[in-house]
Amino acid sequence: MNRFLLSLVVLTACDAHAADWPTWRGVERDGLSEESGLLKEWPEGGPKKVWTSKDAGLGYSSFSVVGDRLYTMGADEKQEYVIALDATSGKKLWQTSVGKRLENGWGPGPRCTPTVAGDLVVALGGEGGLYCVSAADGAKKWSVELTELGGKVPNWGYSESPLVDGDRVLCTPGGDNGTVAAFDLKTGKKIWQSADMTEKAHYSSIVPVDHYGQHQYIQLTQNKVFGLDNDGKRQWQADWPLGRTAVIPTPIYDNGYVYVTSGYGAGCMLVQVGEDNSVKQLYDNKVMKNHHGGTIKVGDYIYGHSDGPGWICQEMLSGEMVWNEKSKLGKGAVAFADGMLYCVEENSGTCVLIEANPGGWIEHGRFTLEPQTDQRSPKGKVWSHPVIANGKLYLRDQEIICCYDVKQ
């Protein structure tokens, strides 16, 4: 049973279900929340705002939410921090430095979303400092510098969100010593580095999958998409000849199919990975050219913003465009909860609720994030991805975080 059908079963079993969002793009790193009982229509002006915090610092990090705590990252004039807020009030509870502030023309500060694993939080600074801290008070447990593993800071800084998978942490230092590295969650000791994959790091985050009974880690770089086994050994790879400049969106995996996309005119590709790890390319085309707002698979369809045609619905297996909408909302990021897509425009901060529906753009409300920062770089935009967790919607513009009640 695929995840979409399973979610329908869950929805019929209970009237409402709250869910944590413990890492980048949610539990399965696919942008899908498992919540139900959320508003299907927003009032004029949007859902009720619960709180506003202006204490997050600079940066483009999104959020992890577990119980009554929200975790993110931000920067002051010199340092970057992993930060914990009270998710019910927005009050800052603690912050812990993860190294010096990344300086970048598109805006300084961190890009990573922290990952929560029980009583620990793992976060990656823009300059490559990988830190594990206590979820309770931010006390440092261990740290590793990715640049000491053969990696080089990418042009826009280290931007992936580290994966915690059981008792290990995975991230992508890149370089000749190995693209991906795994560390012991409790100690930070390196377990392995992928010696047979030596691509340089880009900006995508690793996805853990169960592939025909094999546990694998899928990652996308500028020129390759590949799967590694539990020991970091390459199981398969496919060329991504379209990748250029910056490859950012997280891959999507479903029953042996791997879908990737990137912007700068690149496009999208679907490959089928067999039980024996053989690879067959099914298509590459220009229907979806997603820069960094992410794509969502719901049922048989991919939703997201494509440079050129605007917001689109694409049939995943064929690669064909089902519909597009360019006039009602500009480029931005997307997340899914309870049958609906939450789309945030990067230029204006407008957030729109639409149906995840192959029938077309069906809108159910909009509002504009307010207040917005006056500290953002002139080249920067509202780039932090939206999060829906435990009946709340969280949006960010640099140091400003806003929380909205989206429960029915």
CB 405 within 8 A of CB 48: yes
User: CA-based angle 347:303:125, to the nearest 5?
Assistant: 60
Give, for 11, the enclosing helix (H) or strand (E): helix 3-13
Task: Please state, rounded to an integer, the average pLDDT across all residues of the chain.
Answer: 95
Q: Domains of the chain, with CATH numbers?
A: 3-405 (2.130.10.10)
CB 374 within 8 A of CB 399: no
Cα 85 to Cα 35, 52, 60, 274, 326, distances in angstroms: 21, 11, 16, 44, 36
Give, for 350, the enclosing helix (H) or strand (E): strand 350-355
Q: Phi then psi for 394, rounded to 5 degrees?
A: -115, 130
Compute the distance between CA of residue 408 and CA of residue 246 in angstroms, rounded to an integer.
Answer: 39
CB 312 within 8 A of CB 323: yes
Residue 19 tokens, joined: 């869910």
Lowest-pLDDT choice from 2-11, 182-191, 245-254, 370-379: 2-11
Compute the distance between CA of residue 29 and CA of residue 152 in angstroms, rounded to an integer.
Answer: 25
Compute the distance between CA of residue 378 and CA of residue 367 in angstroms, rounded to an integer.
Answer: 23
pLDDT at 224 over 60: yes
Give the per-residue pLDDT at 17.
73
Cα of first residue to Cα of last residue in the chain, in angstroms, is: 28
CB 181 within 8 A of CB 189: no
Helices (H) and strands (E) in the chain, counts: 1, 32
Identify the burial level of 254 via C-beta atoms within 10 angstroms of its C-beta, where 0-12 means exposed, 13-18 middle and 19 or more buried. Answer: middle
Compute the distance between CA of residue 54 and CA of residue 212 in angstroms, rounded to an integer.
Answer: 46
Q: pLDDT by residue (tens digit) across 53-106?
A: 999 999 999 999 999 999 999 999 999 999 999 999 999 999 999 999 999 999
CB 83 within 8 A of CB 95: yes
Mean pLDDT of 26-34: 96
DSSP codes, 351-391 = EEEEE--TT---EEEEEE--S--S-S-TT----SPPEEETT
Q: pLDDT by residue (tens digit) across 137-177?
A: 999 999 999 999 999 999 999 999 999 999 999 999 999 99
Compute the distance between CA of residue 181 and CA of residue 197 in angstroms, rounded to an integer.
Answer: 11
Q: Which of 59, 174, 176 is nearest to 128 (CA)?
A: 174
Q: pLDDT by residue (tens digit) across 327-350?
A: 999 999 999 999 999 999 999 999
